[in-house]
Structure 1
């Protein structure tokens, strides 16, 4: 029987967390799934652990490959997948046990390109919701309509693992992840939604996103992250320039302003040694909301003042 959902799990040096993740998959209430563990050249015990799962559950496949990064591992999983739909789960996270069942019930006969879910962010013992604003009960909209609604409410999250994707849709549109890129979801997700003709947004909270001290998002030296995200912004600019819907184009360009200024602040790019990363001209003409018009005006006037105004403002809110 063909699996309804293929769950792709990139695995790299996560032996401490892997079992929690895999247990959340093999114990799904919907049994008609396949689980693809992609060992991305892990140098710990993960390869052996993955092989052990295969012996215990016939729904599990393991791909052993040389290290190529998260994007390369996900792409390898996509090529191996046979399910009608694909879910991405990072190996240090986990999903609720009724996730696949809830998604299957949502699909019905609609055959959507993407089904959107929601998540909980977990850091130490603190949790918060990653919740989309646009939830129309099983109403099918286009990806562009969805993007416009979510961008207006500032709840368009770019994490690829928040969504379930139609496998044929991914293959037909060559929607692979860009290899060698940090923050690969920021580049992949907008492209996917711009191509999608059928989106179903749900109120399903299924994903548990665990923030670790040694993760990419929490690393202290964020210069490399900044360089990759700045490059992504410029690549997305080329795509967004081709969008005919003027309002959507402006909203997406405005979202690039948010990405640019956010990584500038987080990575401390006001310092002289990072001046090569900061292209002020990139921001000009992209700001759309009043908030971003003011932010860009201050940034262009003086990036150091912009940095310290934001830093001081955050300190006051603590």
Structure 2
């Protein structure tokens, strides 16, 4: 008997699509949305139906797989897409049980037909990607392996020095990405690894970090360590109008963020953004700090306005522009 498969990540989804030749029903869901629970119950029942033995039913948390949500232009939940052999056949936006059942029955009965390929995800150019990676954390280490398992002696030594000096840092394993490994040498004009960056600027490699540590100057070359709450307050107040979203203003990386950007752009009010995909500490910490479990989040003068649903309501009532202007 088939079941509704819950897939947690991009790799699992890609493999599931690749391995399946029949119809795939993908539910883009969110744990906080009650309508999604109703759709999951219906899909679970359909999966048990022996008439749909060749149909694969998949549930994805839309916010956990922004790359996939972007590919399928997911702007709200629940949304179901119907795929066969990697090609998009149809979609259903919203919680319409009758229509869902109708589409599954119809598409499951059809043989392969000529359909347009699903859109390719937008490709980020290398320099933009390197800049984004370098700025993932205020202190960023590009190394071989990771801090808990360095893959060369130089990386092991620099991690030890940073830990001994109680430096909080992010890291990137250059062995996992040859494009980054080669590109960063040119981008920063530094031919070897590890490489340590502070606030987006190259500090140097192991020799320089050793010298700074031995002279007692290392901490003065790095940003002062902040508590998470202080860091979040600083980010929230970075601009009068701040949006914490997936991706950046120019390249939103989920449908919810794309809609928010479009609404704010229409107001003509200036705003700044922070990519929560670039910083897991901020992504998780801000949920607790503001007691708001989802993204995007809009702040005006340091105060939380809300997420996409509230932004839409304010836009429809004509109040959004007033709130944003008051923040200027």
Higher-Rg member (1/2):
2
TM bucket, shorter chain: under 0.3
TM-score (norm 1): 0.27
Q: Which structure ranks higher in relative contact order (CA pairs < 8 Å, sequence separation ≥ 6)?
A: 1
TM-score (norm 2): 0.26
